[in-house]
Structure 1
Amino acid sequence: MAKQDELRIDQQQLVDAWQRTLPERVQQSDQCEVLADESDSSALRVTIEVAGRQAYSLDFKVQYVDSREVRVELVDVEKDHVSVDERTETIQQLIQDYTRHLHECAQALQQLTHA
């Protein structure tokens, strides 16, 4: 049985759209980078550099399950370019916040992805 609602957009167009839209969803001082996932044409790699003295960097994989829904997976959290334990309360809060922002970005792009 074929998927009726699969993603039908060029991956580079998707990257460009996310690169334009994601900065509107996170704090103005945060830095975002969106790249194509070279091993999965329905996924993106997103790095968010959190503004402030803590110098956290969060890496996510954002995979389109269909043309409207994304699965967000934390790949790594770094502080000052060193991987850290993501189980602390502060980091868990950051992960929740940025996961929500990633879902909001996907929602904002639905008219492009669900065409």
Structure 2
Amino acid sequence: MPLWLLGLLVVGGIGGLVALMHALGLSRGLTFADEAEALAHWRRNTGAAARRALLGPDGRAALIDGGAGVVWTMGADSTARSLDGARIRTGETGLVIRFPDPGAPVLRLPPETARAWAPMLAPILEKRA
């Protein structure tokens, strides 16, 4: 078999699988359907129990127990961090959270989420000011 034909079959096969997975909806990112799902992801990621989760408007992040931590989606999975020691900044561009853990990403959330979480984050921001 000529090399160009083998290359065409490999590229076509991979492209076909990607198209099929996308058509079946398997390329969609995770969103939390409700508070219970966000709490389950918090427990799975941290091992800690929590009582409440306030979902962001887009369902991609949740504030846990009024500021104890945040759980958010990353592609088809989730991750979570405590807000202890985190630097939180709100502004016109949204909510920016920098965690003290150097391996954690900088979490940037849209302005709608900043507005929804403002009442619960206000006491945390006042303590740190």
TM-score for both structures, normalised by structure 1: 0.34
Greater relative contact order (Cα 8 A, min sep 6): structure 1 or 2?
1
Bigger radius of gyration, 1 or 2?
A: 2
**Structure with more of its chain in strand, by fraction:** 1
